[in-house]
Amino acid sequence: MEFEAVIGLEVHSQLLTDSKIFCSCSTAYGAPPNSQTCPVCLGMPGTLPVLNRRAVEFALKMGVATHCQIASFSTFARKNYFYPDLPKGYQISQYELPLCRAGWLDIDLPDGKRKRVRIRRIHLEEDAGKSIHDQALAGEQTLLDFNRCGVPLIEIVSEPDLSTPAEAHAYLVALKQILVYLEICSGNMEEGSLRCDANVSVRPLGTAVSGTKTELKNLNSFRNVERALAFEIERQIALLKQGKPVEAETLLWDADAQQARPMRSKEEAPDYRYFPEPDLVPLEVDPAWVERVKRTIPELPEEKKNRFRQQYKLNDYAAQLLTVRREIADYFEALAKRCPDYQLAANWMLREVLRVVNERKISLQEFPLSPQRLAELLQLILDRVVSQTAAVTIFEEMLHSRKSAGQLVDDLGLRQISDEQQLAAVVEEVLARNQKLAEQYRGGKTKVLGYLIGQVMKATGGKADPVLVNRLLREKLKTT
Amino acid sequence: MSDSIRRHQDYVAGKFKLVDRVEELLERIAVNSHLNAFITVFSRRKLLDQAAALDRRIEQGQKPGALAGLVIAIKDNISFRGEPLTCASRMLTNFIPPYHATVVEKILQADGLIIGKTNLDEFAMGSSGETSHFGPVKNPWNLERVPGGSSSGSAVAVRAGLADLALGSDTGGSVRQPAAFCGIVGLKPTYGRVSRYGLVAYASSLDQIGPMGKSVGEVAYLLQNIAGHDPRDATSVLQEVPNYVKYLKTHPHHLRVGLPRQYFPEELDPEVRAHIEKLVAALKEQGVRFREIDLPLTEYAVPAYYIIATAEASSNLARFDGVRYGLRRPAPDLFQQYSRTRSEGFGPEVKRRILLGSFVLSAGYYDEYYRKAQQVRQLIQKEIRQAFREVDVLLTPTTPTPAFKLQEKTADPLQMYLSDVFTVTANLAGICALSVPVGVTSRGLPVGVQLMSDFFREDRLFILGRSIEKCTGEV
């Protein structure tokens, strides 16, 4: 019997507000432990939460971007459980009436098809602190850092619309892209600003049976999500094939061992005793607020990709890569505005600009070359002042020079040799040295032309106009 | 004019020195230590320094704040920076908060002098002052009797003259009931009238800090100085604070007063009934119009209250886990540490309420208990709203009996809970309510009358309360 998986994801995303959700402490990552705390986020007796409106606004952005219905009236609730990094003994979350519900998101599948994934709900909540178990630092003791405690989160819960680990991956990629585009989440999984739990069950292919589902936790990278799902789906199918039942349980993914280990059974699942948070008044969002938020939503990756394909005549691949992040797309558009050859601009973005950015692990804001300066260089290529090869050399130089591309052409002596006589001499010389190849060419083995062009380029230190070299070589090979 | 306003004016006029007053009160507190009214009296040196500084400002002719010259005691579940905040619990005996409650800030800004922290039922859970980790509070009228609770020490401090004014907190009657038992005036303001920031939560949706004093005027004056919206408390209400004191001179004849039948049951103590009836007669003579009304849901108020209050308490008290502050009983594993810390840190009444609250919120019981109690609460609110379409004030006894004996009800929690039967409705409905002394029984125990009015209609309580004082000759 063939089986298929039914997967739903719960994604926690830290919001990039300056201050925490219920107090004015900073949310900056990486500060010394417990330096960003106050009586409110430490849950000291008598203190009270006050809702950060900016966190609500960010959650609304995500709700609008994923086509959710925005609740004009939503409430906060307490999720009660004991844990040392949860100072109040409860997490303030939303339960019965979340801020956003019933949305959707289209994702691109690896086979080129598209799929609509429904979003069940998006709600606001506060993050907990961090427990640190570090043998070297504290032996058997647990250390607590409350800097993260009270950082605003949204939890985005999908419907169980995903069928394969690859789809789950594609969904996460799309979700992260939107979050980052909206500038409401850094999307950094290593820093924990994006976290994912998965619910998964399997059923005979093509049926509507709902199998027993398990929950996977600790999926701390996109790759781990895919691997853990693959592992768990395989495990469940193997059980069913042996005629054994799947137990409803929560599993913890062990990335080192590449396997999921049981954490607790359904019977052991905690009773969170949710009830309405009496310290906060219900959250009211009027249509005018939603309208204001709508106006701030930028062009999202999906629309931008489609526009790039049409407006700049780019292929899917280039359009996809150039819209991965907003800053890349913005840089490209600034460049394209000054460079009539969009394909050339796209190639330079993908081959050179992104290479440097990735090598140096910097953002495009930190990239030393403005689109204007790069456009000047590309113009030199278009004007056949420099060759592509020489342009790369100039580009490298520009990264740590204030000089313009035009200046550097001369400083580096890279002006393209377009003088026909001068080049004809070099061509003759190269052919003289490679008579055998010339023979082969004439004998129909035209592939050798590339090698010969390379030889001419080499002889001219890469400065020869390749178009001209090409023509001269062909002519000479024909005539002699 | 109230004692406090006069005292404040005398002080500003230079008629007495605050240092002398502080000395006098510290001595009275020492002499009356058997009442067990205080958990912490602030250091004599700090108090005298503060008093002297204010005295100097008066000498220099500066205009001080509205509470200058007045000495105020606060219940020890209200945070004062740098002083212990025990909530009368073993759990917090060593906890010193780094923040002021908003009411404390307001009092200090108005130049009031806070003398110390008063005893209470542990975490404000109790109606007799007997659940305190620091021992029971005694009623100054009769040392065999309870002072009521949970704001026991605050009521006693005012009655015994250990402070001019006091703050209590009222979740189901904790200001009004001890006020009645001790023969003073106590107000539970409208929910949201006074900031709860810095008040250790018992039941957040019901808690409200309330002023206590010897007269209606004093209570109005203190409310004036602590009320108002607070950006740190999302449940405090953006509504202007009226000049309450102004209403003390208003004649009550325009007020329509309701007497809810359910508050005068057969079991009502005959002397309490007699005092209230006498009062009603006297007010009628002044032209106040009375009518009987029906509040049939009254009998459901106590059960609904004890479900909602304990549910919230079970969550509010979860933070006392021995991890960050307060008592910690180390153990080999986390669960045992929680268990030992909380077993040893909390007294039996607090544990009873945490257990009850955890139960009513748990899966499978939530709908049956918590949700149902919330529905009852909504119905009670509706019933009360309806009542206030017909009348301006509801007049009832504050308690079914005068102060009972120490230990009389400790063995029977249900009997103890029923002593709140007349007071919990105001908390469930969120409305304001005032207890005013109306006389003394043949055994020499005070009786209190309760006035309830609509949201933010404290003015009506003060108008009628003041005329009650005139009728009874108390002030």
Q: Where are the alpha helices (DSSP H) in A242-369?
A: 287-296, 301-311, 316-322, 326-337, 342-348, 354-360
CA A30 centroid distance within chain: 21
Give the count of beta carbons closer than 10 Å to the beta carbon of residue B355: 12
Interface size between A and B, measured as CB pairs under 8 A: 103
Structural domain contains residue B204: yes
Q: Between vectors from CA A43 to CA A40 and to CA A45, what angle results, nearest 5°? A: 95
Nearest chain A alpha carbon to B361: A273
Find, among A468, A442, A445, A464, the residue nearest to A455 by Cα. A464
Instruction: Tell if the CB–CB gap between A275 and B370 is shorter than 8 Å.
Output: yes
CA distance B226 to chain A (A): 17
CA torsion sign for B68, B69, B70, B73 is: positive
CA distance A38 to chain B (A): 9
CA distance A271 to chain B (A): 6
The pLDDT assigned to B475 comes to 42
Structural domain contains residue B395: no
Question: Measuring CA to CA, how many Å separate A344 from each of A352, A374, A414?
Answer: 11, 12, 20
Question: Measuring CA to CA, how many Å separate A472 from each of A424, A425, A429, A442, A475?
Answer: 7, 10, 12, 15, 5
The pLDDT assigned to A283 comes to 96
The pLDDT assigned to A382 comes to 82
Peptide bond into B89 cis (omega under 30): no
Domain that holds residue B163: 3-249
CA distance B365 to chain A (A): 10
Question: Measuring CA to CA, how many Å separate B207 from each of A244, A255, B472?
Answer: 54, 48, 30
List the pLDDT tens digit at each of the 475 positions of chain B: 568 889 999 999 999 999 999 999 999 999 999 999 999 999 999 999 999 999 999 999 999 999 999 999 999 999 999 999 999 999 999 999 999 999 999 999 999 999 999 999 999 999 999 999 999 999 999 999 999 999 999 999 999 999 999 999 999 999 999 999 999 999 999 999 999 999 999 999 999 999 999 999 999 999 999 999 999 999 999 999 999 998 888 888 889 999 999 999 998 999 999 999 999 999 999 899 999 999 999 999 999 999 999 999 999 999 999 999 999 999 999 999 999 999 999 999 999 999 999 999 999 999 999 999 999 999 999 999 999 999 999 999 999 999 999 999 888 887 888 888 999 999 999 999 999 999 999 999 999 999 999 999 999 999 999 999 998 875 4
Structural domain contains residue B103: yes
B159 touches chain A (CB under 8 A): no
Instruction: Tell if the CB–CB gap between A275 and B315 is shorter than 8 Å.
Output: yes
Tokens of B326: 């307060």
A244 three-state secondary structure = coil
On whether the CB atoms of residues B428 and B210 are closer than 8 A, the answer is no
Structural domains of chain B, count: 1
Structural domain contains residue B45: yes
Give the count of beta carbons closer than 10 Å to the beta carbon of residue A159: 16
Q: Where are the beta strands (DSSP E) in B54-150?
A: 71-75, 113-118
Of A42, A278, A281, the CB nearest to B324: A42
On whether the CB atoms of residues B311 and A275 are closer than 8 A, the answer is yes
Task: Select which of B132, B150, B215, B453 is catalytic.
Answer: B150
Tokens of B473: 């000759």
Tokens of A147: 């800097």
The pLDDT assigned to A214 comes to 92
Instruction: Work out the percent of chain A whose per-residue pLDDT is above 90.
Output: 48
B327 touches chain A (CB under 8 A): no
A70 three-state secondary structure = strand
Sheet containing B432-440: order of strands: B38-41, B113-118, B71-75, B165-170, B208-213, B185-188, B432-440, B446-453, B393-397, B256-260, B289-293
Per-residue buried b or exposed e for B409-421, using 16+ beta carbons within 10 Å of the residue's own CB: bbeebeebbebbb
Tokens of A203: 């059923």
Q: Which element (helix H / strand E) includes B285?
A: helix B270-285
CA distance A255 to chain B (A): 26
Structural domain contains residue B443: no
On the question of pLDDT at A392 being above 50, the answer is yes
On the question of pLDDT at A448 being above 80, the answer is yes
Q: Where are the beta strands (DSSP E) in A1-99?
A: 3-14, 69-70, 73-74, 77-80, 90-93
The pLDDT assigned to B2 comes to 64
B409 is catalytic: no
Nearest chain B alpha carbon to A280: B234
Q: Which of A42, A47, A141, A149 to mutate to test the interface with B (most CBs of B within 10 A)?
A: A47
Instruction: Tell if the CB–CB gap between B366 and A87 is shorter than 8 Å.
Output: no
How many angstroms separate the CA atoms of B306 and B424, rounded?
Answer: 9
| Residue spans per domain, chain A | 3-291, 301-411, 420-479
DSSP annotation of B78: B
The pLDDT assigned to A35 comes to 96
The pLDDT assigned to A357 comes to 86
Contacts of B368 in chain A (CB under 8 A): none
pLDDT, tens only, A136-169: 888 888 899 999 999 999 999 999 999 999 999 9
The pLDDT assigned to A149 comes to 96
B442 is catalytic: no
Point out the least confidently predicted range of A5-19, A337-351, B377-391. A337-351
Q: Provide the Cα torsion A186, A187, A190, A195; round to 10°.
A: 120
Of A39, A88, A278, the CB nearest to B205: A278
Instruction: Tell if the CB–CB gap between B366 and A88 is shorter than 8 Å.
Output: no
Residues 6+ apart with CB under 8 A from B92: A45, B84, B85, B86, B320, B325, B326, B327
Looking at residue B178, which CATH number applies to its domain?
A: 3.90.1300.10
On the question of pLDDT at A224 being above 80, the answer is yes
Report the residue count for chain B: 475
On the question of pLDDT at A462 being above 80, the answer is no
Contacts of B320 in chain A (CB under 8 A): 45
Contacts of A47 in chain B (CB under 8 A): 99, 197-198
Based on its alpha-carbon atoms, the radius of gyration of chain A, rounded to whole angstroms, reads 30
How many angstroms separate the CA atoms of A179 and A474, rounded?
Answer: 54
B362 touches chain A (CB under 8 A): yes
Structural domain contains residue B370: no
Of residues B22 and A221, more confidently modeled: B22
Asked if this assembly's ipTM is beyond 0.90, the reply is yes
Structural domain contains residue B168: yes
Question: Measuring CA to CA, how many Å separate B314 from each of A157, B113, B201, B311, B420?
Answer: 29, 34, 11, 5, 20
Of residues B341 and A325, more confidently modeled: B341
pLDDT bin (cut points 50, 70, 90) of residue A479 is low
- The predicted model gives A463-478 an average pLDDT of 82
Largest CA distance in chain A: 97
Q: Between vectors from CA B262 to CA B430 and to CA B182, what angle results, nearest 5°? A: 65
On whether the CB atoms of residues B459 and B391 are closer than 8 A, the answer is no
Instruction: Tell if the CB–CB gap between A88 and B319 is shorter than 8 Å.
Output: yes
Of A39, A89, A275, the CB nearest to B311: A275
Contacts of A80 in chain B (CB under 8 A): 314-315, 318, 361
B214 is catalytic: no
Q: Which of the following CATH numbers is that of domain A420-479: 1.10.10.410, 3.10.20.30, 3.50.50.60, 3.30.70.2080?
A: 1.10.10.410
On the question of pLDDT at A290 being above 90, the answer is yes
Tokens of A29: 């990552």
- The predicted model gives A263-283 an average pLDDT of 90
Contacts of A43 in chain B (CB under 8 A): 319, 324
Tokens of B43: 């250091």
Structural domain contains residue B13: yes
Instruction: Tell if the CB–CB gap between A273 and B362 is shorter than 8 Å.
Output: yes
CA distance A93 to chain B (A): 14
Of A48, A84, A279, the CB nearest to B323: A84
Task: Select which of B75, B106, B188, B214 is catalytic.
Answer: B75
On the question of pLDDT at A88 being above 50, the answer is yes
Of A46, A88, A275, the CB nearest to B318: A88
Task: Select which of B89, B154, B174, B453 is catalytic.
Answer: B174
In chain B, residues 71-100 whose CB comes closer than 8 Å to chain A: 77-79, 85, 87, 92, 95, 97-99
Looking at this protein, which amino acid is placed at residue B114? I
Contacts of A79 in chain B (CB under 8 A): none
Contacts of A273 in chain B (CB under 8 A): 314-315, 358, 361-363, 366
Q: Residues of A near B (CB-CB distance < 8 A)? A: 39, 42-51, 78, 80, 82, 84, 87-90, 144, 271, 273-275, 278-281
CA distance B97 to chain A (A): 8
Of A51, A80, A281, the CB nearest to B315: A80
Q: Between vectors from CA B8 to CA B5 and to CA B13, what angle results, nearest 5°? A: 125
- The predicted model gives A5-26 an average pLDDT of 96
